[in-house]
Amino acid sequence: MELQGKVALITGAGSGIGKAAALRLAREGAMVGALSHTDDEIRKTAQEIEQAGGKAIPLVADVGDEAQMKKAVDDLVQAYGRLDIVFANAGINGVWAPIDELQPKEWDRTINTNLRGTYLTIHYAVPHLKQAGGSIVITASINGTRTFTSAGATAYSATKAAQVAMAQMLAVELAKHKIRVNVVCPGKIDTEITENTDKRNTEEAEVPAEFPAGRIPLTGNEPGTSEEVAELVLFLASDRARHITGTPVWIDGAQSLLV
């Protein structure tokens, strides 16, 4: 129970990595503000935590909406009195298409969710984290940080690269407040985000990549699990990582070293 008495805000907690992290941190004693834009799924996450003996409140908000995110953070702090951990995980793959076919509204939607959403989450959380220090963890990706072979994923990859830069800037800025900022960069993980990707004419933007057999060497091409990423989030959020900040950690079974 190494997070006993701590309060954690987790965005994108209705499914996948966010849900796995919410359940894992709750098992370690954290009181969780589980946030999603979908009411039904986030209430299920909160209910699962409560049924397992933990504490959680569901927060419904669009991470790209200023007013909704301010209210969500305020509601969480009002409920539990403090904020110690932020897992800025919400994100979308969005539309993957050649740059001359990718429409401005499609670009804006990906930027709004992935980058503005991360900014707003941290923007409203930091005043509370400054009270006693804490940890911020951001979900980026191998795309845009170590691999560049996902055809048409320009908007997505740009947001992921920007999240790493944001974390490194903030690691320096917030260090004096005892706030650490780190990034997890997953490869192929067993979530629904790939199925929700809208790909259009990506073969036009594709350049073949050659690599040894087995795109995920550690597992023989089996994807990692959301629970494995949640374990990394727990470590970075905990005092065990007290001297780690400004650090991206790739969790991909060596996938990004080949592709």
Q: What is the pLDDT of residues 50-77, one digit of tens each?
A: 999 999 999 999 999 999 999 999 999 9
Once rounded to an integer, what is the mean pLDDT over residues 178-190? 96
How many whole angstroms separate alpha carbon 20 and alpha carbon 227? 5
Lowest mean pLDDT among 97-106, 153-162, 190-199, 228-237: 190-199
Lowest mean pLDDT among 95-99, 164-168, 182-186, 254-258: 254-258
pLDDT at 205 over 70: no
pLDDT at 204 over 80: no
Once rounded to an integer, what is the mean pLDDT over residues 68-93? 98
Over the stretch 136-150, which tens digit does the pLDDT of each residue have?
999 999 999 999 999
Residue 88 is predicted with a pLDDT of 98
Choose among 188, 140, 186, 185: nearest CA to 160: 140
Choose among 34, 47, 49, 147: nearest CA to 90: 34
Residue 174 is predicted with a pLDDT of 98
> Which band of pLDDT confidence, cut at 50, 70 and 90, is reported for residue 36?
very high
**Mean pLDDT estimate for the chain:** 93
How many whole angstroms separate alpha carbon 74 and alpha carbon 83? 10
Residue 220 is predicted with a pLDDT of 83
Give the rounded distance of the alpha carbon of 22 from its chain centre: 12
SS3 helix, strand, coil % of the chain, rounded to 5?
45, 20, 40
> Which band of pLDDT confidence, cut at 50, 70 and 90, is reported for residue 210?
low
Residue 27 dihedral angles phi and psi, to the nearest 5°: -65, -25
CA distances from 133 to 160, 213, 245 (A): 25, 45, 13
**231 is written with which tokens?**
């374990």
Give the rounded distance of the alpha carbon of 190 from its chain centre: 15
Residue 32 is predicted with a pLDDT of 98
Once rounded to an integer, what is the mean pLDDT over residues 107-127? 98
Task: Tally Cβ neighbours within 10 Å of residue 115.
Answer: 20
Are 145 and 99 contacting, i.e. CB atoms less than 8 angstroms apart?
no
Catalytic residue set: 156
Residue 193 is predicted with a pLDDT of 57
Enter the pTM of the model: 0.93
Are 17 and 191 contacting, i.e. CB atoms less than 8 angstroms apart?
yes
